[in-house]
Amino acid sequence: MTNVKVGVVGCGVISKIYLENSKKFAGFDIVACADLDMAKAQSVAETYEIRSLTVEEIVKDNEIDLILNLTIPAAHADVALAALENGKHVYGEKPLAVTREDGRKILDKAKETGLKVGSAPDTFLGGGLQTSRKLIDDGWIGRPIGATAFMMSGGPESWHPQPDFLYKHGAGPLFDMGPYYLTTYVNLFGPVKRVTGMTTKAHEERLITSQPRAGEKITVETPTSIYGLLEFEAGLVGSLLTSFDIAGDSTLPRIEVYGTEGTLILPDPNTFGGPVKIKRVGSKDWAEVPLTHGFAENSRGIGLADMAFAILHDRAHRANGDLAYHVLDLMHSFGEASDSGQHVTLQSTVERPAAFPPALQFENLREKLSNE
């Protein structure tokens, strides 16, 4: 086998970038798609010259090695388990599942069947965040002692065509956007030991102002502002604030990392590029650091490509199920800490993902990742 054959389940908004980028990546080929709305699946299949199947057909299709699960969060576990039960690896959009119990079922089934599980986000493999990691690992800011992260916005009902699911259990700003920030944290510093937090909800209903459903109201079922503190096993302390309740644009940085010898400003972890800025002790000004790694453009699918090479060469992959489960555990722990008024010790841990090779590009992806 030279490439892993992939079938997409879920032909919504996010599927387009995966399908477009699949033409550039080595390691996998998307050969089929499925959706509960067969007309949508057929339209996507025609556009990208692949086969359209039902969901039941695609998880049983003998040509397909891996299911790319792009369904809504509530369906993540069911689709992942169906794929694994039919002998297929699975890579899904975040979060891994809505509940810890379902996330554990996915990992247990993968272990039982000898299959691999992967999960978005893979933005931490992009040029901006891999450059940031290299600066930290190489000691440019000394020993990391703390970090802050902020995802503060007005909510998706102003732009998303179908925003309902983002206000249901298993969504909200933390479960929707938090994985980008928390995965970045674990990539930089390793696993988290314990957390505390507070949550709130600004509105019981939200008014949709985007088309085609402008004027409809959404019932809010989940907290829409979450304030969390994290203690990492490595000893440093971080914070994460996520909110859909902000009027206007926040001016807070996305992520800052504080070390004994300097401070690092990281790019938006929902992107793959820069800028990366550093200010070392004794410096008067911030300096922008040239990126040491490739994939600075929108490279969704890089985690899937890394997983495909891991399948082909029997090695570990970076955007893996254990990492996604640790992030899921973290997000639930913030809510539990808020409800109990106490610190919550994490039930899970995970190995820090291996760094990407410097200067990784589309052109040398197969060579570098095949030789790991």
Which tens digits make up the pLDDT trace of 225-234?
A: 999 999 999 9
Q: Residue 139: how many CB atoms within 10 A of its CB?
A: 12
pLDDT confidence bin for 249, thresholds 50/70/90: confident
Which tens digits make up the pLDDT trace of 320-372?
A: 999 999 999 999 999 999 999 999 999 999 999 999 998 889 999 999 999 89
- DSSP class per residue in 222-285: S-SEEEEEEEETTS-EEEEEEES--SS---S-SEEEEETTEEEEEPPTTSS----EEEETT-SS
pLDDT confidence bin for 214, thresholds 50/70/90: very high
Which tens digits make up the pLDDT trace of 128-153?
A: 999 999 999 999 999 999 999 999 99
pLDDT given for residue 128 in this prediction: 98
Max Cα separation, the chain?
62
Contact 147, 257 (CB under 8 A): yes
- Rounded Cα distance between 372 and 367, Å, is 9
Helix (H, G, I), strand (E, B) or coil at 355: coil
- The conformation of residue 357, written as its DSSP 8-state character, comes to P
3-state helix, strand, coil in the chain (%, to 5): 35, 25, 40
Q: Is the pLDDT of residue 1 over 90?
A: no
pLDDT given for residue 248 in this prediction: 80
Contact 243, 151 (CB under 8 A): yes
Contact 307, 91 (CB under 8 A): yes
Which tens digits make up the pLDDT trace of 264-314?
A: 999 999 999 999 999 999 999 999 999 999 999 999 999 999 999 999 999
List of long-range contacts for 206-215, beta carbons under 8 Å, 24+ apart: 206/155, 206/157, 206/163, 206/167, 207/157, 208/157, 208/163, 209/157, 209/158, 210/157, 210/158, 210/159, 210/160, 210/161, 210/163, 211/161, 212/161, 213/161, 213/162
Contacts of 114 (CB under 8 A, 6+ apart): none
Q: Is the pLDDT of residue 112 over 90?
A: yes
- Rounded Cα distance between 211 and 161, Å, is 6
Full set of structural domains in the chain with CATH: 4-123+299-317+349-370 (3.40.50.720), 125-288 (3.30.360.10)
